[in-house]
Amino acid sequence: MCGTCGCGQPGEPRLHHHDHEVEARRVVVERSLLEDNDRRSEALKKRLAARGIEAVGLVGGPGAGKTALLEATFAALGPAVAGQAVVEGDCATDHDARRVEACGARVAQVVTGSLCHLDAHLVEHALEDLDLDGVERLWIENVGNLVCPAPFACGETRRAVLVSVTEGDDKPEKYPAVFADADLLVVSKLDLLPHVDFDLERCLAGARRARPDLPALALSARTGEGIDAWLAWLGAERS
């Protein structure tokens, strides 16, 4: 069960109590969970860095285009995809894992069930089934969600947050926490921009209210527009 949102708890949605003692205990438990996760995340980051592996986290809502971006990235890398590995988080099915595996990347699937995000402990376990010899970059594709992943670092060196033009330009205003801790805003599905009501400037302004220095780029995994800028942010080269 998620300590901050109550996901995975059976029955009715959790109601907040006004009893101060109950509320104080809940805050202590949540702080303990997050502090433990932060320690695990830092240890995992150091462990990966010692092997020369950079970890990049991808966060976004359902259908934001996270897996499609991985596919486009791996296609652009060509033979260098052999040095890419993915921890794929999803509530159910291995559909996305099979998509990135078909690109030539190594994949470890994490089926979270009712849990709405990955955390450092889940990623640690996933890596037990992943051969990291020769891997240069580990991708951590989180569960489709803009709320619960925000406070749970997963050992990433950098984290990119995706918002597709089909989702609406108000997402950073509605979910500021995930943008406050991001290293990059990616506006995805740019090829659909002429067909939807999406204001790029409003989206960017909302994200920069959460983090004023947040870099941003727009791209289309389908057409390839913006992929070179994405590769430049990664420090990667097109094959």
**CATH code, 103:** 3.40.50.300
What is the pTM for the complete model shown?
0.89
In whole numbers, what is the pLDDT of the chain averaged over residues? 91
Question: pLDDT tens for residues 95-150?
Answer: 999 999 999 999 999 999 988 999 999 999 999 989 999 999 999 999 999 999 99
Domain containing 97 equals 20-234
Enumerate helices (H) and strands (E) in the chain, giving the number of each. 8, 7
How high is the pLDDT of residue 23?
59
In a domain, 163, yes or no: yes
Strands 184-188 and 216-218: parallel
In a domain, 145, yes or no: yes
Question: pLDDT tens for residues 162-185?
Answer: 999 999 999 999 999 999 999 999
- pLDDT bucket at 93, cuts 50 / 70 / 90: very high
Whether 239 shows a pLDDT value over 90: the answer reads no
Terminal alpha carbon distance of the chain: 42
In a domain, 130, yes or no: yes
Handedness of CA 157, 97, 147, 34 (dihedral sign): negative
Among 24-38, 51-65, 123-137, which is the least confidently predicted range? 24-38
In a domain, 135, yes or no: yes
Give me the helix-helix angle, 20-50 and 120-127, nearest 10°: 40
In a domain, 224, yes or no: yes
Question: pLDDT tens for residues 200-222?
Answer: 999 999 999 999 999 999 999 99
How high is the pLDDT of residue 25?
54
Number of domains present in the structure of the chain: 1
The answer to whether 63 touches 166, Cβ cutoff 8 Å, is yes
In a domain, 6, yes or no: no
